[in-house]
Amino acid sequence: MKVLVIGSGGREHALVWKIRQSKKVEKVFCAPGNGGISQIAKCVNVRADNIKGLVDFATRNKIGLTVVGPEQPLALGIVDEFQRRKLKIFGPEKKAAQLESSKVFAKEFMQQYHIPTAPFKIFDNQAEAIGFCKSVEFPVVVKVDGLAAGKGVMIVHNFQEAETAIEAVFDEQRFGTAGSRIVIESCLVGQEVSVMALTDGKSIIPLLPSQDHKQAFEGDSGPNTGGMGAFCPAGFITDELMEQVVEQIFQPTVAGLRNENIPYRGVIYAGIMLTKVGPKVLEYNCRFGDPETQVVLPLLKTDLLDVFKAVIDRRLSNFRALDWRPGAAACVIMASEGYPGHYESGRKIIGLQNVRNEGCYIFHSGTRRDGKQWLTDGGRVLGVMGSGDNLQAALKKSYSLVDRIKFPGAMYRRDIGFRVLGDKRK
Ligand code: AMP
Ligand code: GLY
């Protein structure tokens, strides 16, 4: 079978890497891919949001299965379009992708189906939103409705900050139409965990839980980024807690979607806060997480292509459970100086050649080739993954590899996993 993966980041590199391990795969294409992906797949110069270009490519090349990495093509309806053309594709349809593409939709959906989440209010104008903030207990969280690449969530600690955030959305229109409505919700406290689950609209199979570090700087401080590192499994989640997550979150989510006549096929990602009174949903994503995928897939033994096909053909119930390797995986993101703000690309990377460390893999987020030379080509540049018997061993492998990779202004966090390991990490 020929497989097409859509996207160009570390997540897509991990998907391509894992899919290639399936014996049923004849050739893997990636659109548009990146420098690292081009070493193991054929990169195709079609952007992830060019739906017509992707449909045409899949038809012309007789692609047997397409896997969508990022959220934009899902929100644009790529799955609906592929299905119209009788092409097999892994991911939810446009209506179901609203769980991620509209926070208002997601919050109203959770309220209706009693899925635990922070109490909230929705506003479509500045005066009412600011008026409401006069009587709330701070901190609260202000979220723009539409997709904003992780930048549309602002935790505000007092009225002044709330006013500034709300004015940025409505007055300055900083988020364009994504900010035509906002959600204001209570701020939850606890450990965060990312749980992804596969579903064919009926059966649900959770993947191992993971944790990512969103903030740019050590100690989880500084601005939010796309993710500076991750590890799997999130050891603090007991089996009992996972059962609670499936029963209280995933089952009512999938049943609710079915009830709304929006059958969901693909992977649902729930960003969860483990509060004192139980797990609560912070957000849904309709796709694999980045960088969570870079630590979850290395632990998966089951053939990913078989699972994807079972989801698409609505026979996921054939799989009782997935097969996992024991141990842990960790991923340290190496980013460009200045990220998540302004950064420069085109810097020479050294140390990528001849890496043959057992249990390690370098997933490229933003690189390109210039002849024999590797160059940085994005904010997040590399995701250095190490796996081992436990989290400490996995991190030790990642960091020993990170130490050998150099580019001017390389930035990375030294403390991935600190919330679990504390000082044991060193
Ligand atoms: P989101 O894009 O909705 O996942 O939000 C990004 C990040 O903001 C989350 O990973 C949390 O760290 C934080 N966040 C979002 N909503 C809340 C909330 N209600 N309480 C506390 N933190 C939140
Ligand atoms: N790691 C968070 C996300 O993929 O949205």
Q: Looking at the domain that runs over 328-425, which CATH code has it been given? A: 3.90.600.10
Q: For residues 169 and 127, is the Cβ–Cβ distance under 8 A? A: no
CATH of 119-186, picked from 3.30.1180.20, 3.40.50.10420, 3.40.50.2020, 3.30.1490.20, is 3.30.1490.20
Q: Which two tokens stand for residue 162?
A: 């709330």
Verify whether ligand 1 is closer than 6 Å to residue 260 (CB atom).
no
Q: Looking at the domain that runs over 191-318, which CATH code has it been given? A: 3.30.470.20
Q: Which two tokens stand for residue 3?
A: 């497989």
Verify whether ligand 1 is closer than 6 Å to residue 144 (CB atom).
no
Q: Which of 339, 367, 355, 340 is nearest to 403 (CA)?
A: 355
What pLDDT was estimated at residue 355? Answer: 72
Verify whether ligand 1 is closer than 6 Å to residue 271 (CB atom).
yes
What fold does the segment set 2-95 form as a domain? Answer: Rossmann fold (3.40.50)
CA distance 170 to 181: 9
| Cα 150 to middle of ligand 1, angstroms | 9
Strands 42-43, 27-32: pairing kind: parallel
Verify whether ligand 1 is closer than 6 Å to residue 283 (CB atom).
yes
| Cα 150 to middle of ligand 2, angstroms | 8
Q: Which of 257, 236, 283, 242 is nearest to 118 (CA)?
A: 283
Verify whether ligand 1 is closer than 6 Å to residue 106 (CB atom).
no
From the CA of 273, the nearest ligand is 1
DSSP collapsed to 3 states, 326-386: CCEEEEEEEECCCCCCCCCCCCEEECCCCCCCCCEEEEECCEEEECCEEEECCCEEEEEEE
| Cα 30 to middle of ligand 1, angstroms | 31
Q: For residues 146 and 101, is the Cβ–Cβ distance under 8 A? A: yes
* 80-137 per-position pLDDT tens digit: 999 999 999 999 999 999 999 999 999 999 999 999 999 999 999 999 999 999 999 9
pTM: 0.96
Which residues in 257-286 are b (16+ Cβ under 10 Å) and which e? beeeebbbbbbbbbbbbbeeeebbbbbbbb
Residue ranges of domains in the chain: 2-95, 119-186, 191-318, 328-425
* 11-26 per-position pLDDT tens digit: 999 999 999 999 999 9
DSSP 136: P
| Cα 335 to middle of ligand 2, angstroms | 16
Could you tell me where the DSSP H helices lie in 229-364?
239-245, 251-259, 293-296, 304-312
| Cα 204 to middle of ligand 2, angstroms | 20
Q: Tokens 């969860």 — which residue?
A: 272
Per the document, the length of the chain is 426
Q: How many alpha carbons lie under 13 Å from residue 294 in its C-beta half-sphere?
A: 30
**Residue among 100, 215, 267, 290 whose CB has most ligand 2 atoms within 8 A, to mutate:** 290
**Residue among 153, 211, 280 whose CB has most ligand 1 atoms within 8 A, to mutate:** 153
CA distance 51 to 32: 12
* 39-94 per-position pLDDT tens digit: 999 999 999 999 999 999 999 999 999 999 999 999 999 999 999 999 999 999 99
What pLDDT was estimated at residue 425? Answer: 52
